């Protein structure tokens, strides 16, 4: 089990010799060697915070999943171990989002095998609690293939539709090579009915204020809103980093809207985002200081 909220961990992963986690108090935990090189893979915390799931990557050997779990705690050092899971769709530059406790979705990206490196229009439904068998099911096709996009799941706010969830895919680069403001939405009414996903269709959603790629995203624990922060936007026929933060909320009938958050990132940022539980101000200040020291910037909020 990954440590409880009083000692939060973030993950630095990608190359084969990485796999190091840091606590927000500055403690470096035991590093572990990943089984395969993983660049442009996606990850998801599953099992009530007990495991980190990695899916795909650009390396030719990365058509797999890996599960990272806590093995033991020795004094102040937390040791993690990596194990290979079942084969995965061989994709990279995709996005991965949790729909429910045991169900996740992988969307878009690029095919990454020896015969093709084309845009992937598919979505895949993952039952991570069935990793020992065949956890992947083909889901609906995107209307527009994309890579370097973000995705997340937002619950409709109307109480009468409290079980209805909206999967949102936003931004990225399309096969034409252009950045897109486009957003697609998928309405999920029964998250555990895996067979039903094949009958669903992606629909156009509210466009982003600007075309964006490589942004960071995170969904709140209650799935009430999706945060999208930083990334790259088009500017004068070029691309530049942005410090903007936006949220997506949805009401009954899949009526979704973007809202710009007044607080801006202190620096332009591309990378990861995650939601931390509420903590005392002294702990927040310590976490902020540690984040700044680890990243070498002030790109922490």
- Please report, for the chain, the start and end positions of each structural domain, with discontinuous segments joined by +: 9-295
Residue pair 124/140 in contact by the 8 Å Cβ criterion: no
Instruction: Find out whether 125 and 186 touch, Cβ atoms under 8 Å.
Output: no
Distance CA 53, CA 86 (A): 11
**What does the alpha-carbon distance between residue 299 and residue 210 come to, in Å, rounded to a whole number?**
21
Classify strands 203-204 and 212-213 as parallel, antiparallel or unpaired: unpaired
Residue 162: its pLDDT value, please? 66
Backbone angles phi, psi at 233, to 5 degrees: -125, 160
- Cα–Cα distances in angstroms (integers) from residue 279 to residues 8, 10, 229, 291, in the given order: 11, 16, 22, 15
Other CB atoms within a 10 A radius of the CB of residue 229 amount to 25
Our CA angle for 39, 44, 48, nearest 5°, is 155
pLDDT of residue 87: 80
Distance between CA 277 and CA 24 in Å, rounded? 12
pLDDT tens, the chain, 301 aa long: 222 223 333 333 444 444 455 555 555 555 546 777 778 888 888 776 677 888 888 776 667 788 877 766 666 556 677 788 778 888 889 999 999 888 999 999 998 765 556 899 999 998 877 766 668 899 999 999 999 999 999 999 876 656 789 999 999 999 998 899 999 999 999 888 998 998 999 999 999 988 988 888 888 888 999 999 888 887 555 666 777 889 999 998 889 999 988 666 555 555 566 555 555 555 556 655 555 554 444 445 5
Element (H, E) at 216: strand 216-219
CATH fourth-level superfamily of 9-295? Kelch-type beta propeller (2.120.10.80)
Angle at 81 between CA 61 and CA 275, to 5 degrees: 90
């Amino acid at each position: 089990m990954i440590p409880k909220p009083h000692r939060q961990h973030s993950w630095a992963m990608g190359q084969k010799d990485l796999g190091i986690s840091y606590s927000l108090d500055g403690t470096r935990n035991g590093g572990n060697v990943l089984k395969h090189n993983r660049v442009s893979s996606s990850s998801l915390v599953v099992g009530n915070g007990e495991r980190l799931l990695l899916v795909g990557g650009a390396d030719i050997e990365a058509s797999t999943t890996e599960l990272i779990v806590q093995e033991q705690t020795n004094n102040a050092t937390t040791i993690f171990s990596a194990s290979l899971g079942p084969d995965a769709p061989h994709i990279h530059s995709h996005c991965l989002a949790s729909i429910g406790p045991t169900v996740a979705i992988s969307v878009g990206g690029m095919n990454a095998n020896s015969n093709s490196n084309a845009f992937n229009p598919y979505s895949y439904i993952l039952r991570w609690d069935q990793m020992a068998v065949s956890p992947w099911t083909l889901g609906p096709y995107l209307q527009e293939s994309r890579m370097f996009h973000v995705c997340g799941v937002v619950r409709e706010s109307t109480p009468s539709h409290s079980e209805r969830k909206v999967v949102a895919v936003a931004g990225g680069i399309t096969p034409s090579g252009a950045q897109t403001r486009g957003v697609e939405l998928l309405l999920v009414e029964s998250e555990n009915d895996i067979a039903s996903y094949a009958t669903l269709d992606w629909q156009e959603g509210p466009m982003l204020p600007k075309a964006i790629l490589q942004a960071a995203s995170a969904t709140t624990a209650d799935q009430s809103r999706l945060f999208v922060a930083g990334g790259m936007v088009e500017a004068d026929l070029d691309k530049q980093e942005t410090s903007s933060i936006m949220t997506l909320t949805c009401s009954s009938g899949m009526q979704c809207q973007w809202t710009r958050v007044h607080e801006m990132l202190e620096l332009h940022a591309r990378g990861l985002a995650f939601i931390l539980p509420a903590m005392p101000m002294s702990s927040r200040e310590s976490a902020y200081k540690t984040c700044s020291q680890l990243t070498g910037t002030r790109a922490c909020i």
